[in-house]
Amino acid sequence: PLLAKKLFQVPFALQLKILKALYQLLGRTSFQLFLEKDKGKYLELLLLALEDEEEEVRELAIIGLAKIGDARATAKLLDLAEELDLEHQVDTVHNEDLAHLFADALVHIGINEELLKGLEVDSPSRNLVAIRTLKGIGSIEAGERLKEVFWHKDRDLQREIARALEEMALIESREFFLEVLEKHKDGDVLKSALIYLGRIRDKNAIEVLFPFLDHQWDDVKETALESLIKIGGDEVLERFARFFEDGNSLHRLMAVYAFGQLKASAYQDLIKAALEDEDVNIRKIALESMAKMCSNHKEALPVVAAKLEDEAPEVRMTLVELMGNCEHDEVLPYLLKALDDSDDWVKIRAIEALVKKGRVTLEITKKLTALIEYSNKIVAVKAIEALGKLQSEEGFHALLEALEIPDFEIQEAVEKSLDQYQQQYEVK
């Protein structure tokens, strides 16, 4: 209180020091509440403080104006943001913090004529700050203002506006985004429109979205696919079923992926058919989809396990990784079988999967022990590491014997695994 009484009885430079002291004493929230008591006087002081050379004073003014600012404050803040060119200076933590301070203050002040001028004038820097402010406000009016200027801005600002409206996800933006999909050519703008329609789960937009699965740019295709999956439902699944049958391998891949993401058990036969597809990527996605949607693992396991004989090692590898994530012990015999695979990377993935499963049996230990002297040293080291994690008496003795192998890397791996036994013993 004593400091506050002195505030308007001293020169400007001292006023700023008193303000800083008050802020340090009260903290941010109480300081802002304190300013409200005599809003008119403090507002004038803070507007002047914005022009101070000392950055700490400017930041303090911004914090205060977030609570008591008006259109004049908005204009000054936009001036300062433009002067500092904030959107091009967010490459350090400090400038990130400063940008957030500006955004927070302008959002709290709200929509006024100066903010709208900042959106409309021919100044990309000022426009960008105004766009981000309106996004932060997030109201229907904010959305309308952004839509009004969209078609009058350059591509970069259109991207920013589209992204803002997509994140705001106002139902009132639906017609705007449908128009964007019809007229716009920029990939980033199109993606914002696609994401928006998925976010609001607009079933009436399914027909509009499907053609974008054939867009020239892959990232647009992928965005359309994810949006359709978010919308989901029978119509989406039926259209993907038609995709599966149309002879286009990319369409088949998308369909199989969608069936898995939507856990569409009614289309399980199509996924099983995809396990035999000529396209390796489709076979991999089919395995992932089966893993996602099959509630009856005893029925699904023999079907997918047959792919351990697939001609493509990447398919076998995918299957082994999926089995490592499976909670059922019925996968263990298949993982043991994968240790005998002709491809060393399938072997490695099988070892990792067994470690993830965490089960210790005599057969697992024997299989891993047999790999200690394998010709590929990466496989051998992986097996040694696994014996250190899947601890058993037999594994311990196998590691002791492996100390005799005249290879520095093998010996180093063995010693680390034996240390794990020692640590486990000390814990017990």
Structure-derived torsion over alpha carbons of residues 51, 57, 62, 66, reported in degrees to the nearest 10 = -130
Query: Mean pLDDT across the chain, nearest whole number?
Result: 89
With beta carbons less than 8 A apart as the criterion, state whether 248 and 277 touch: no
Q: Which pLDDT band, with edges at 50, 70 and 90, does 20 fall under? A: confident
The correct CATH number of 360-428 out of 1.20.950, 1.25.10, 1.10.238, 1.10.10 is: 1.25.10
Tokens encoding 17 = 């020091």
User: Quick one: average pLDDT of 298-318?
Assistant: 91
Of 88, 23, 25, the residue nearest 62 (C-alpha): 23
What pLDDT does residue 296 have? 61
Instruction: Give the pLDDT confidence of 204-252 residue by residue, as tens digits.
Output: 999 999 999 999 999 999 999 999 999 999 999 999 999 999 999 999 9
CA–CA gap between residue 104 and residue 137 (Å, rounded): 10
**CB burial string 301-312: b at 16+ within 10 A, e below:** beebbebbebee
**CB burial string 364-398: b at 16+ within 10 A, e below:** bbebbbebbeeeeeebbbbbbbbbbebbbebbeeb
Q: Evaluate if residue 191 carries a pLDDT over 90.
A: yes
With beta carbons less than 8 A apart as the criterion, state whether 221 and 212 touch: yes
More confident residue, 176 or 34: 176
With beta carbons less than 8 A apart as the criterion, state whether 289 and 313 touch: no
Q: Evaluate if residue 295 carries a pLDDT over 50.
A: yes
Instruction: Give the pLDDT confidence of 114-164 residue by residue, as tens digits.
Output: 999 999 999 888 898 899 999 999 999 999 999 999 999 999 999 999 999
Q: Evaluate if residue 330 carries a pLDDT over 80.
A: yes
Instruction: Give the pLDDT confidence of 42-101 residue by residue, as tens digits.
Output: 788 888 888 877 888 888 888 888 888 899 999 999 988 777 765 555 444 455 566 678
What pLDDT does residue 233 have? 96
Instruction: Give the pLDDT confidence of 90-110 residue by residue, as tens digits.
Output: 444 455 566 678 888 999 999
What pLDDT does residue 426 have? 63
Say which residues have a Cβ less than 8 Å from residue 316's Cβ, sequence separation at least 6: 307, 308, 310, 338, 341, 343, 346
With beta carbons less than 8 A apart as the criterion, state whether 379 and 410 touch: no
Instruction: Give the pLDDT confidence of 336-353 residue by residue, as tens digits.
Output: 999 999 999 999 999 999
> What percent of the chain has a predicted confidence (pLDDT) above 70?
90
What pLDDT does residue 320 have? 96
The phi-psi region of residue 158 (left if phi > 0; otherwise alpha if psi is between -120 and 50; otherwise beta) is alpha
User: Quick one: average pLDDT of 247-258?
Assistant: 97
CA–CA gap between residue 220 and residue 231 (Å, rounded): 17
What pLDDT does residue 93 have? 47
3-state secondary structure 282-299: HHHHHHHHHHHHCCCHHH
What pLDDT does residue 36 have? 72
